[in-house]
Structure 1
Amino acid sequence: MRLEQLYAIGGGPGANRPHGSAEEDAAHALASRWMDEAGLAVEVDQSGNLLGRSPVGADVWVGSHLDTVPRGGRFDGALGVVAGLEAVERAGCGTVVVFRGEEVGCIGSRALVARGGPLPRAFLELHIEQGPVLERTGAPLGVVTSIVGYARGELFFEGRAGHAGTTPMDGRDDALVAAAEAILRIRAAVRRIEGGVATVGQLAVEPGGSNVIPERVRISVDARAPDAKRLDRLIEAIGFEPVHRTLPAAMGEGPRRVLLEEVESRGLPAIELPSGAGHDAGILAAAGVPSAMLFVRSLNGGISHNPEELSSEEDIALAVEVLGAAIGRLAPA
């Protein structure tokens, strides 16, 4: 199975194909071979994105990414590439694209947009939901309405280093305590903004000795919200200056409607939901490309970025069927 071949690259635990690594390169090489075997015209653009073009309807793209977070799951990104290739083979038209570096800020799709393309006429991305909504509603598939905006940056805290055993508690200036208090304030602030979320996922402590009071601490901040107004409020409430920011992006009405109709035509519930994660589809949508996303139900409570990430073979088969039909309608052979 193609997903298992990709998952095996880099060894475990989990999927380990970080952007810029030999493992990401190996995954692209494997996907390139599959494209060639499918009779697609294979090319790599100047940003390292991989494309496999059909002779017909090549301006309609479908795809995702193959880089992963450390110890990631087998489905995130990879399913969109594998399913996209199978859907294009079934439809006999369209282009499969594998973008570079999605997990570190959608590097490949951003580079494509920044240099002015060439951009597709339409873009479809199949992805696992990475959340619990579809599992809770009992729906195998969902159609995305919009992709949240997000802001990333860092906060720094200064204190004074000292001996862990001889410095009285009431005489300490502990940078890590200040950082911990800030993290709790961030959590409280986010809860006052509906639909907002924020995560502190990295923490660096200096000088880093187990018997030294921390003198300097750096924390990462990832803040997300459904619209630009709430994202601004979130940034202000947290009190940080983003070094990277992506505005929320609405999905294109045309391709989104096609996906919905294909889902409904199979007697499945027409579930529409926003994406709380960033995706390459959001970058292309923001650049004016009519884009749409099809979510596959995530099991195990919707866990993702984790080796326990799971979607069923039955749900995946339905998704490939819907995706192939949608490509056939948008880029008829």
Structure 2
Amino acid sequence: MNVGIEIGGTKLQVVSGNGQIEQRFRFAVDKAQGATGILEQIERALTQVNGQIDAVGVGFGGPVDGQTGRITTSHQIDGWTGFGLADWLRERTRCPQIRVENDANVAALGEALHGAGRGFRHVFYVTLGSGVGGGMVVGGQIYRGAMPGEAEIGHLRLDRYGKTLESVCSGWAVDREIRRALDELPSESLLKRLVGEQTSGEARFLGEAWARGDGTARRILHRLCDDLAFGLSHVVHLFHPEVIILGGGLSLIGEPLRAGVEKILPDYVMQAFQPPSAIRLAKLGEDVVPMGALSL
């Protein structure tokens, strides 16, 4: 029986199965409890796994040393810096195969093997959530550069003055852009009425407002697609993957986001690389990291 673990800043998932998820434990993360609280939750779940545990894969929300299974740091939860997670898991499961990877890499593997990347050899995955991360899979294996990491597309600079892909294409960045726009919109604005009194997560209303013809939503979405396509053009020039998969919370905007990026991307790619990579929406949803962790 394989076990897959997703450790994020707000949720923890522990799943077990052979190829597919057969058992799932889901926990909310209490930041006040730090790493210690998450480890207690993992230990509790491991005692309830049906059958003998043969291997464990982990997708961790932050930089890790994939060779040693040691956590480099977490930008969201205290207590992880330098922690030997693989050794800790080995002590509790007694199984020889333990793999710890960054969650974007693990999500990329999940989508490549079980989701929108099936059938492609070269797959690049970008997650558009509270931050922006990425992973590259070649022939069913995670592409790994020299330490301390690789495929950090969120930190790709779009200019020399500090504008990064994450600073303009993360969920938080789009939320802020919408909030600024709402301050100048009249009360009858569709986007303003959809958002209402919400003070976070405003980006989730962008797709519906776009579909209903809201001008502000269309302007913001076009800007998002343009910046994202420009950032992904560097991925095309460096790796030329067969497919680029859009995942994370912003990907729930759906077809308007996918089609927008696909339409604009050729404008930023040199003629010799035309047509550029296909653009697909992620398919696995909340299962993307757990399925990738099982596949490790």
Query: Taking structure 2 as the reference length, what is the TM-score of the superposition?
Result: 0.30
Which one has the bigger helix percentage?
2
Higher Rg: 1
Query: Taking structure 1 as the reference length, what is the TM-score of the superposition?
Result: 0.27
Which structure exhibits the higher relative contact order, with contacts defined as CA atoms closer than 8 Å and separated by 6 or more residues? Answer: 1
